[in-house]
Amino acid sequence: AVPRSRDAETTAKGTIPPMQRSTILVVDDSITTRTLEKGILEAAGYRVVVCVDGQDALDRLRAAVEPVDLVVADVEMPRLDGFGLLEALRKEPAFARLPIILMTSRGDAEDVARGLALGADAYLTKQSFDQGRLLETIGQLL
Q: Considering the entire predicted model, what is its pTM?
A: 0.84
Quick one: pLDDT at residue 91?
96
Minimal CA–CA distance to 54: which of 18, 24, 83?
Answer: 83
* Intervals of the chain under pLDDT 50: 2-13
Q: How far apart are CA 122 and CA 138, in angstroms?
A: 9
Question: What is the structure's pLDDT at 107?
Answer: 81
Check residue 15 and give its pLDDT: 53
The predicted structure's pLDDT at residue 68: 97
CB atoms within 10 A of CB 124: 20
Cβ atoms of 75 and 102 within 8 Å: the answer is yes
